[in-house]
Amino acid sequence: MADESLPLEHSFNVESNASPIDPIDDKLFSSESPSMSRRQLLNFLTGSVVAITAGSILFPGAKFFIPPSEENDSGAVLAKDIHGKPIPAQQILANPPGTRALIAGLAGEPTYLTVQEDGTLSKMGVVDNCTHLGCTFPWNEVDQQFQCPCHGSRFAPDGSVQRGPANRPLKLSRVWVDGDAIWVAPWNDIDPRTGETPWWVNNLNHSQPTDAGKTELAKETIKLNESLSIATTQLSPNQLKQAAQAGYQSVLNLRSPNEPGFLENEQQLVKRAGLQYAHIPVNPAQITDSLTDQVLATIDQLKEPILIHCQSGVRSGAMALIFMALHEGMTVDRVLSTGQQMGINLDAQPQIKQFVHHYVDAHRQAYTAA
């Protein structure tokens, strides 16, 4: 299905299913082939001013030809096109889900923005610089990959490495929409793809000031896979902000309002951070099949990645392990062993561990058949 291309004055490029457009035309081209021609790269980056070829001259050099970006107090910049003009959010959001628009981000870095299935922009911008030697690359709609034409590196839609020689995921930027403005900011917190401090943060000059509080959330979370993480404590207001900064899309709270330390305004804080929120009180002494059904259905409906929390991580860990066992076809013994290796030990709560056994054994056949 052909996508409507954005006018050149509003974006670098929009990757879609449309047939390639002659780059001489005053339109954005779309690539379906695994690589991009020199002529396309030339027109893509500069029109008639700056010439860059894949593998020889890196795009960051082009930032000297781009007018300074408007910046806010936190260091975020407005997303702009190659002419230095701010790009209205409606121009990109008018395109079909799955569209990838290439804009000038931080310091003029070419950055892919993604239109999600719900018609919003992904909070993760993927920087268009191969982590092997810095070549720029196109998005291949057919293979659903970023494919570097220089030495053959392949990256998943989220920028994870699928094939070398690149051995590091693509750099991320934080993206959000305010009114009709698109803002792009540094991603200096935990990389949601690896659960670790991003490599580009590790490479920063250590003399630069750092915010020690940014690691607070990471110390209290266990990442089970790319979709699910659990917190081993009640999340504080600051940690909820960090969850948004770390790339989480949703928070699921399993605590009861009558528990000591329950955060009364958690829903408001989560929504203010731009995340989805769900609250299903789970009493550890009264976990039932029907309640677990509700929790699993909610996990299925929330945007990923999801951060689940209770008070100590036992309830949230149990529910996450049940979800993993059923959706990944794991036996209960294997999923419990996997959880224990990750730090989810249910031995201190034998009734919950017994319930995990019961629920997985009772429902695994139905999930496998489905």
Q: 0.95 exceeded by the pTM?
A: no
Range of the domain at 67: 8-187
Q: What is the reported pLDDT for 288? A: 94
Q: Are residues 174 and 246 in the same domain?
A: no
What does the alpha-carbon distance between residue 151 and residue 131 come to, in Å, rounded to a whole number? Answer: 11
* Mean pLDDT in residue range 150-169: 90
If asked whether residues 246 and 329 sit together in one domain, one would say yes
Rounded Cα distance, 203 and 250, in Å: 29
Burial of 90 (0-12, 13-18, 19+ CB in 10 A): exposed
Q: What's the whole-number average pLDDT of the chain?
A: 78
Claim to verify: residue 248 and residue 181 sit in the same structural domain? no
H helices of the chain, in order, are 38-46, 89-93, 199-202, 216-219, 237-245, 266-272, 289-301, 314-328, 332-342, 350-369
Q: Are residues 226 and 362 in the same domain?
A: yes
Q: Are residues 142 and 242 in the same domain?
A: no
pLDDT tens for 208-241 read 333 444 467 888 899 888 889 999 989 888 889 8
pLDDT classification of 72: cutoffs 50, 70, 90: low
- For 309-356, how does the pLDDT look when each residue is reduced to its tens digit (9 = 90+)? 998 899 999 999 999 889 888 888 988 888 888 888 888 889 999 999
**Residue 126: CATH number of its domain:** 2.102.10.10
For residue 256, the domain's CATH number is 3.90.190.10
Give yes or no for a contact between 23 and 73, defined as CB atoms under 8 angstroms apart: no
- The answer on 351 and 293 residing in a single domain is yes
Residue 344: how many CB atoms within 10 A of its CB?
21
Type of residue found at 271: K
Asked if residue 90 has pLDDT above 80, the reply is: yes
pLDDT at 94 over 90: yes
Predicted local distance difference test score (pLDDT) of residue 215:
62
258-285 residue pLDDT tens: 988 889 899 999 998 899 999 999 998 8
| Whole-angstrom distance, CA of residue 84 vs CA of residue 81 | 5
Task: Count structural domains, the chain.
Answer: 2
Q: Residue 291: pLDDT band by 50, 70, 90 thresholds?
A: very high
Answer whether residue 60 is part of any domain.
yes
Confidence (pLDDT) at 224: 86
Radius of gyration of the chain (CA): 22
Same-domain pairing of 221 and 180 = no
pLDDT score of 92 more than 70: yes
> Using CA of residue 291, residue 117, residue 160, residue 202, what is the dihedral sign?
negative
Rounded alpha-carbon distances, angstroms, from residue 359 to 174, 306, 320, 338 = 39, 22, 13, 17
Summarize the confidence of residues 162-174 as an average pLDDT.
91
Same-domain check for residues 241 and 364 = yes
DSSP string, 5-35: PPPGGG-SEEE-SSPP--TTSSS-----SSS
| pLDDT tier for residue 22 given thresholds of 50, 70 and 90 | very low
